[in-house]
Every structure is written in structure tokens, then in C-alpha cells.
Structure 1
Amino acid sequence: MGDIESIDRIAFELGPITIYWYGIFIGSGMLLGWILAARESKKVGMEKEILSDLLLWAIPISIICARLYYVIFKWEYYIKNPVDILAIWEGGIAIHGGLLGAVITAVIFSRKQGISFWRLADIAAPSIILGQAIGRWGNFINQEAHGGEVSRSFLESLLLPDFIINQMYIEGAYYHPTFLYESLWNILGFVLLIFIRRLPIKRGEVFLSYIIWYSVGRYFVEGLRTDSLMLTESVKIAQVMSLTLIAAAVLVIVLRRRLGKAVLRYADRN
């Protein structure tokens, strides 16, 4: 078999500045998510400045938290190579860490602004999962977040284009394109959230549905991955987090309904 050329991680260079595909995909996901959330906030009568002000804080904080989450669980490596903590363009950000940072930021922001956190979260939920779908292609370029070894014929049986199959050829072997599985799951989740937020559900339940949908998919995709952050030798952190988030989201939905806390839909103007 001849050499299989992979896609260069560098998109282009501007003098001393190097632009990586990883950053382009992450940034594109955030930008598209912001545009969609801004349009939705306008539809429900929320001032556009509120969302913009939130994102000015939430985006950098979520990136920092996503990186710190990853670094903490890879501490044995980073304690010996502290400079690499800043090399975010090489990959290594954890979605669960980013989500945690964004939620904490949104809770504090909404309290200071005197608005409903759940209303903000419902508006943002479809944008978040779409941004995640796009961001996974950064992992594809970096040839990371892949699954176990497979044959080329297996990948061809999935009717994948050659550029994906060739990029999954890493150090002499082909691997499961788990980035693609999760990306497609998230795109389907985006469509689902767009649909259910038009239904007569309670405020907060679009966001909680996102948590459940994403976590179910992440649990199964994570089972295929070979580069997972590990809690123990056999327990994957992302799977534990996924199960925890599913249970927590279901519990919150049930409790809010029983306690009468979930009365208004997210689209209400109050």
C-alpha cells in the first residue's frame, strides 16, 4: 500500500501567525451558534445585547474550563510539560468542562441581569449542540478522538468519502471515525431541538432535552474511543459524566413539574 496523505493541520499562515483547521472549526461552530441564538432571542423578544454580553463572558470562560478539565485528567503529562498546557491548537479540550463553565457563567449572568437562566439556556441549546457537531471536525483534522482499529473495507462499507477514510489512516492502521458518529448524532439532535421547542413544553426543558440527547450519544460513542480520559483503568470519565447528566436532567424535569416551578415556556417574554 502506498503512502496515504493526510490533511495538513495548518490551514494557512499569515507571516508569523499560523492558523490551524482545529481553531477554524471550533470558531466556526461558535460563530454559527451565536448567529442562530441571536435570531431566536429576537423572535422571543429578548434584547440582543443580553445574549451578546453573555457570550463575551461565556465563550472564553468555557474554552478555559474545557482546557483545564482536560489538563486535570492528564496531569501526569502536563506537570512534566507545563508549556504544552497552552498548546490548545494541538487539541485537548473537553466538552464537559466547557459546558460546565458555560452553565456557571450563564447562571451568574442571569442572576445579575434579573432574567431567567432557563430561558437563556433554552434559546442557546440548539446552538450549543450544532456548535459541537461542527467542532468535532477539528478532531478529525487532528486525527484524534477516534475509535479502535478497523479495516478500510469497513470504512468503505459506511459509504464514506475517500478524504474521511484516508484521514482515518493513522500510523499504519485505520480507525473508527467516532468524531463523525458524534457529529451526526449532534446534527440530528439539533433538528430535534428545533422541533420540540415549538411544542407546548415547559421552560428549561429544551436545554434539559439537549443534555439528555447529547449524553446518550456521547455515552455510546465514548465506548468506541481509544483516547478517553479515564477515571480508573476501566472507567471512562465521559461515560460517568454522561450517565450522571442524564439522571440529573430527568430528575430536574420531574421535580420542576411536580413543584410547579416549570410553568412558563421558554418563548414567553417574562
Structure 2
Amino acid sequence: MILSGAPFDPIAFRLGPLAVHWYGILIGIGALVGLFVAVREGRRFGVAEDFFYDLLLLGVPVAIVFARAYYVLFQWPYYAAHPEDIVAVWKGGLAIHGALIGSGLVALFYARRRRVSVWWLLDVAAPSLIIGQAIGRWGNFMNQEAHGGPVSRAFLESLHLPNWIIEQMNIGGTYHHPTFLYESIWDFLGFLLLITVRRRLSLLRGELIALYAIWYSVGRTYIEGMRTDSLMLTPTIRMAQVMGLLLIALGVAVIVFRRRQPDATRYDAPPDRPAPPDVC
């Protein structure tokens, strides 16, 4: 199909009247890979796997709801006229910054209920978040969204991309920047950075999630300038770039704040023992 120049079908398969979309499959795979990464790290601290299973079951639905609500909010004129599309998440339209807001609220609630340090929980989750984002961006690829402006086929070939990616970026007869790919690669490099730093450097709790916020936001802020489907704060200001700058500033502030705390706990210190699930 791709060899003939046709795009991928965004629907992976059907179960009777139910259409299963690649978008949802890839987001699910990203969540499971993130869970695997968190469980492996939790073993270093003697934390049971159920701790992370429960967190995933709570966090993913909340993150999706917040991601969709954030997207709908900044596209409200369209959704006000097409309310039936508000729940059509399989068509795309999950804003990562909305997901991060939802995930942060879940982390605060879950850490309090399970009696662990929220800084420790966020640090353990940081590599999981960014590898999940790296994989989830391929859902945008399948939907032919989150792309950049027009480019020539020769430009895409100069990036040494396989033909199946090049042809998927042919939308309506025009080739586009594969900004989904740029961000996926940036996120994967960030994942390698985070897992390397947490093993080799002596970090304080809170510094790994701060590094995540800085790394991700630097790349997203730059790449966002290439995209053609940005959520806009004003006709000239992209919301993702505003959020990116805010997260960079917040990440730096967290590192400075933690370094100035004389009693700040090291990341590798044993965590407070998680309370059993029945206290939730």
C-alpha cells in the first residue's frame, strides 16, 4: 500500500462495528513501555509492582481527559459547532500539556494517599513520561497530523527517511515537515539522558523531573514553530511555546530551590515505604 504511494490507514482493524485506531494502540503501547520502565526503577527501591499498576490505572484515564479538555478548550469555536466530536479522541487531538497537568494532579493525590515523597514519585515517572511521548507521537504519524509546513520530496529524501515515512508526509499532494518524527527523536534522546543521569549523577529528589521539563520543553518550543496545527493563545502566540517557556523556567526554579534546601533528600535514598492500597 505504501509502496504505491497511498497513506497508512489510521484504522488498525475492526471488531464488528468497532474500529480500533492506530492512534489509540500507539498511545497504549507508550503507556505500557512507560510502566515497564517505572517498575524496573521501583525494584531498586523495593517498591512492589502493584504500586505502579494502580498508578497507571488511575493516571492514564485522568491524563487523557485533561489532554482532551485542554485541546478542546483551545479549539472551542469548532467543538461548539460540532459537539459530537468532543469525545472523538481517536481522530487525534490530545494535548500533551493538558496530559501533564492531569498527571501532575494525579501524582500529588497518589503520593499523599500512598505516603511517599511526591518528588520521588515524579522523578521515577520522568523517564516513563518521555518514552511514552516518543512512542505516542507515532500515533500522530498514522493520522497524518502534528506535521509542519510544506517541503519538497527532495528535502525529505535528504534526511535519509524511508519511503514509507516520506509518502505518509504527502498530504493532499503536498509533502510536509515530519515534525512528529523530530519530536519523537528528541523525546527518545531525552529518555536516554534521564536514565543515564539518574544512574551516574548524585541528584536531589525533584531534579530529574525538572530536567525532564527543561529538556522536553526546549525541543517542543523549537519544533512547535514549524507546525501548522498549533493551539493558539492569540493569533500570533502558540500556546505550546508559552507552556514550554513556563516549564523551562519552572524546571530551573525547582533545581535552584532544591539545591538551596540544606535537608533536601537525595534521589537514591530509600523512599518512604508506600502505604498499602487499602488506605486509598
Same fold (TM over 0.5): yes
Q: Is 2:190 the partner of 1:189?
A: yes
> Paired residue for 1:214?
216
Is this contact kept in 1: 2:39–2:52, CA < 8 A? yes
Q: Is 2:253 the partner of 1:251?
A: yes
TM-score of the superposed pair, with normalisation by structure 2: 0.93
- The 1:63/1:244 distance shift into structure 2, 3 A limit, reads same
Q: Is 2:226 the partner of 1:224?
A: yes
> Paired residue for 1:4?
5
Tell me the distance in 2 between the aligned counterparts of 1:194 and 1:101.
24
> Paired residue for 2:271?
269
Q: Give deviations 1:85-124, integer Å, cap 9, x for gaps.
A: 0110000000000011001111011112211011111111
Question: After the TM superposition, which residues 93-104 of structure 1 pair with which residues of structure 2 at under 5 Å, given as runs?
Answer: 93-104=94-105
> Paired residue for 2:262?
260
Is this contact kept in 2: 1:119–1:266, CA < 8 A? no
- The 1:252/1:17 distance shift into structure 2, 3 A limit, reads same
Tell me the distance in 1 between the aligned counterparts of 2:239 and 2:174.
26
Is this contact kept in 1: 2:45–2:271, CA < 8 A? yes
Give the CA RMSD over aligned residues.
1.4
Following superposition, the deviation at residue 261 of structure 1 comes to 5.2
Is this contact kept in 2: 1:119–1:267, CA < 8 A? no
Q: Give deviations 1:229-248, integer Å, cap 9, x for gaps.
A: 00001100000000000001
For structure 1, which segment, 118-127 or 174-183, has the greater mean C-alpha deviation from structure 2 after superposition? Answer: 118-127
> Paired residue for 1:132?
133
> Paired residue for 1:156?
157
Report the 3-state secondary structure (helix = DSSP H, G, I; strand = E; otherwise coil) of the residue aligned with 1:79: helix
Following superposition, the deviation at residue 256 of structure 1 comes to 1.9
Is this contact kept in 2: 1:204–1:266, CA < 8 A? no
Question: After the TM superposition, which residues 32-43 of structure 1 pair with which residues of structure 2 at under 5 Å, given as runs?
Answer: 32-43=33-44
> Paired residue for 2:59?
58
TM-score of the superposed pair, with normalisation by structure 1: 0.97
Equivalenced residues, count: 269
Following superposition, the deviation at residue 268 of structure 1 comes to 2.6
Tell me the distance in 2 between the aligned counterparts of 1:233 and 1:72.
15
Is this contact kept in 2: 1:122–1:266, CA < 8 A? no
Tell me the distance in 2 between the aligned counterparts of 1:119 and 1:269.
7
Q: Give deviations 1:168-211, integer Å, cap 9, x for gaps.
A: 00012000000000000000000000100011111111111111
Following superposition, the deviation at residue 266 of structure 1 comes to 4.5
Tell me the distance in 1 between the aligned counterparts of 2:161 and 2:217.
25
Structure 1: gaps (5+ residues): none
Is this contact kept in 2: 1:146–1:176, CA < 8 A? yes
Is this contact kept in 2: 1:139–1:179, CA < 8 A? yes
Runs of 4+ in 1 over 4 A off after TM superposition: none
Is this contact kept in 2: 1:130–1:187, CA < 8 A? yes
